[in-house]
Amino acid sequence: MDLFLQELINGVTLGAIYGLIAIGYTMVYGIIGMVNFAHGDVFMLSAFIALLFLLLLTQKLGVTFMPLVFVLAALGSMLMTSVWNWAIERIAYRPLRGSFRLAPLISAIGMSIFLSNFVQVAQGPRNKPISNPFGRSITLTHGGQFNVTMSYSDVIIVVVTIALLAGFWFMVRHTSLGRSQRACEQDMKMAALLGVDVNRTVSLTFIIGAALAAVAGSLYLMKYGVINFADGFLPGTKAFTAAVLGGIGSLPGAVLGGLLIGLIETFWSAYFSTDYKDIAAFSILAITLVFLPSGLLGRPEVEKV
């Protein structure tokens, strides 16, 4: 029971990070029907930007109050990553809008290769470790085989994710931007005819996706305390897996998928073997899709003749 509770905590925090990245995938897919392969690398880039802001604030500006440093670093990373993703969309994807399906996909894969190698060249190939100031933990249960603990960073991750998702949900449901997004998702041409600025909506979608990925990147940096230029691929793929598992195009599905992938991964590591945790996540994806071909919450594709 203790082990179960502990792994539940770990799984939920990991799943929250996956969920935040997965929203970026699923939103872009919903609107322009493109798998944004570079999103995992945008996440990695955001963690690097957060790291640089963190070091700048502590070393150059001498700020010592760590919670403030982290909040400022995360905000800075959200801003700069948004600019990056906006530029990426402008340069690599917008010229290919309305082109056939595989061209933007290849462009996104090229962008992904470019971003990870750009960070490698700009920041060097080594791991960048930082110490976690929120590493202290609260003991939840005593006795038993071991104490179930929850570190402050876990609490922060869960609280931040819930707050962001609530704000995000409100934005999609109740603001004009959210309405334009949903309109573009249903029928881009018709939305354009009715006066929705499609280019602006798509750009803003990429910006929001990047901002959420930047939060995920900052939280990831805070929790794991290390980042490397190659760290974009696996979390990115897992987040994409989460988006597909939840039903790509569905926002609650992305979060649900993220949580499931996080939980599967940690429980598999705890009860079976750490080596095969990624295999477990991918296998469950394959098995789920065989029985539910459009994911858990996705709408089944209607074939029209």
Partner 1 sequence: MSVTTNPERAAGRSDIVEAFKQAAWAAVAAAALSFPILLFRAGANINNMLVVRSRPLLVLGLVAAIFVARFFIVIWQSGRTTRVKSSGIGISPQTAFQLKALLVVLLIAYPFIMYWLTGPFGSLKWINNYGIQILIYVMLGWGLNIVVGLAGLLDLGYVAFYAVGAYSYALLSTKFGLSFWICLPLAGILASLWGMILGFPVLRLRGDYLAIVTLAFGEIIRMILINWTAFSNGYAGIASIPHVSFFGLPFEDDDTHLTFASFFHLHFMPIQQTIFLYFLILALALLTYFVTMRIRRLPIGRAWEALREDEIACRSLGINTTITKLTAFSLGAMFAGFAGSFFAVRQGFVSPDSFTFIESATILAIVVLGGLGSQIGVAFAAALMIGGTEILRELGFLKYIFGPQFDPVQYRMLIFGAGMVVMMIFRPRGLVSTRTPSIFLNEARTISGANVKEGHG
Interface size with partner 1, residues (CB under 8 A) = 71
Of 132-140, 151-159, 263-271, 291-299, the segment contacting partner 1 by CB under 8 A is 291-299
Report the residue from 9, 45, 188, 222 that binds partner 1 according to the rule CB under 8 A: 45
Angle, in degrees to the nearest 10, between helices 233-246 and 277-291? 30
Residue from the set 42, 111, 260, 264 that interacts with partner 1 by CB under 8 A: 111
Between residue 5 and residue 44, which ones bind partner 1 under the rule CB under 8 A?
Answer: 29, 35
Is 289 a binder of partner 1 (CB under 8 A)?
yes
Residues 6+ apart with CB under 8 A from 103: 96
3-state secondary structure of 140: strand
**Is residue 61 a contact point for partner 1 (CB under 8 A)?**
no
Instruction: Tell me how far the alpha carbon of residue 197 is from its chain's centroid.
Output: 26
Q: Quick one: 125 or 144, whose CB is closer to partner 1? A: 125
Closer Cβ to partner 1, 180 or 228, answer by number: 228
Task: State the CB neighbour count (10 A cutoff) for residue 52.
Answer: 16
Q: Is 60 helix (H, G, I), strand (E, B) or coil?
A: helix
Question: How many Cβ atoms from other residues are within 10 Å of residue 144's Cβ?
Answer: 11
Comparison of 180 and 240: residue with beta carbon closer to partner 1: 240
d(CA 30, CA 208): 14
Residue 248 touching partner 1 (CB under 8 A): yes
Please report, as a single letter, which amino acid is at residue 52. L
Q: How far apart are the C-alpha atoms of 38 and 106, rounded to whole Å?
A: 10
First-to-last C-alpha distance (Å) of the chain: 54
| Binding of partner 1 by 128 (CB under 8 A) | yes
**Interaction with partner 1 in 74-93: which residues (CB under 8 A)?**
76, 80, 83-84, 87, 91-92
Contact 227, 48 (CB under 8 A): yes
Residue 128 bridge partners (DSSP): 227
Contact between 237 and partner 1 by CB under 8 A: the answer reads yes
Asked if 285 touches partner 1 (CB under 8 A), the answer is yes
Binding of partner 1 by 241 (CB under 8 A): yes
293 binds partner 1 (CB under 8 A): yes
Minimum gap (Å) between residue 152 Cβ and partner 1: 22
Q: Which is nearer to partner 1, 123 or 203 (CB)?
A: 123
Nearest-approach distance from CB 194 to partner 1, in angstroms? 27
Is 132 strand, coil or helix? coil
Stretch of 158-166, 181-189, 204-212, 237-245 contacting partner 1, by CB under 8 A: 237-245
* Interaction of residue 233 with partner 1, rule CB under 8 A: yes
Sign of the CA dihedral with 262 first, then 257, 240, and 227 last: negative
Q: Which two tokens stand for residue 87?
A: 């530029």
| Nearest residue (CB) to partner 1, 190 versus 279 | 279
- List the alpha helices (DSSP H) in the chain: 2-32, 39-55, 66-88, 102-123, 152-174, 176-186, 188-193, 198-224, 233-246, 251-271, 277-291
- Tell me which of 112, 161, 180, 201 binds partner 1, using CB under 8 A: 112
137 binds partner 1 (CB under 8 A): no
Q: For residue 203, state whether it binds partner 1 (rule: CB under 8 A).
A: no
Interface residue with partner 1, options 16, 44, 74, 115 (CB under 8 A):
115
